[in-house]
Amino acid sequence: MSSTAIPYEKDGYTLYSNHLCPYAQRALRAFKAAGVPHKVVEIDLNNKPAWYAQVNPQLKVPALRTPDGTILIESLVVAEYVAEEFPSAGLLPSSALERAQLRLFIEIFSSRFNPFIYRILGTSDADEQKKHTETLLSALRAASKELQEQWERSSGQGGPFWANGRFGFAEIALVSFVNLLTVVDHYRGVKVPETQDYAAFNRWRDAFTKDPLFTEFNPSQDVLFSAYKKFVVDN
């Protein structure tokens, strides 16, 4: 470790993270999946150390310090860097077309799912909750359709993971956010229907929640519910 005020691993990777942050969990899972040694520095998001502004002026996690001292921020950027720097882990497909299909799948969640988790929690208006829930479920139907189409491709191998029959980049990018369905169920009673429109999604969700790459970094439900209580607006 350096003798300066900023903690980091000399000649190694240092990941500035927070175990409850779904964005940071992307980076944690990427490093674990790639089998790359690294140091984790836990950042208290409610009491960030003064030195952290020198690492990431935006004060967000994750941030990655590479062995040459370069700082990378933004969770998908960090996860893709790990996947591309260590291709032997096979986290990203070699085909440009398959990478594009993967990014389209991730985008469904980034634009049509993730924001609506917080919008459902963040309003006490029943009509607003219903509207946001309909948008979220529409995204899950689209995701289910994409999963079914992917599983019919050779790389999909019939599921239940996005590709190659194992936890990969799609899961690294998405599972922490999909897991927040437990939070909206707890606080708003929102459940994913057990119908054919959602069948592939439910199969995928059931598979990844049993995988060690999910469970190792997944907080208990009590901890998760407590952490997300601050986002809940009640009457």
pLDDT of residue 126: 96
72 pLDDT above the threshold of 70: yes
pLDDT above 70 as % of the chain: 98
Structure confidence by residue, pLDDT tens digits, 7-64: 999 999 999 999 999 999 999 999 999 999 999 999 999 999 999 999 999 999 999 9
* Alpha carbon separation from 92 to 12, 97, 163, 181, 212 (Å, rounded): 23, 11, 9, 26, 19
Structure confidence by residue, pLDDT tens digits, 179-200: 999 999 999 999 999 999 999 9
Structure confidence by residue, pLDDT tens digits, 85-135: 999 999 999 999 999 999 999 999 999 999 999 999 999 999 999 999 999
Comparing CA positions, the residue from 57, 54, 62 lying closest to residue 80 is 62
**Crossing angle for the helix pair 181-188 and 126-151, to the nearest 10 degrees:** 150
If 0-12 CB within 10 Å is exposed, 13-18 middle and 19+ buried, where does residue 70 land?
Answer: exposed
Beta strands 39-42 and 14-17 are parallel
Residues 6 or more apart from 28 whose CB is under 8 A from it?
A: 15, 17, 19, 40, 62, 217
Residue type, 187: Y
**Residue that has been written with the tokens 């984790």 in this structure:** 40
Mean pLDDT, the chain, rounded, equals 96
pTM here is 0.95
* Structure tokens belonging to residue 121: 């929690």
Q: Is 215 a catalytic residue?
A: no
**Which of 13, 15, 17, 21 does the annotation list as catalytic?**
21
Instruction: Render 59-73 in DSSP notation, one character per residue.
Output: --S-EEE-TTS-EEE
Distance, CA of 171 to CA of 219 (rounded, Å): 17
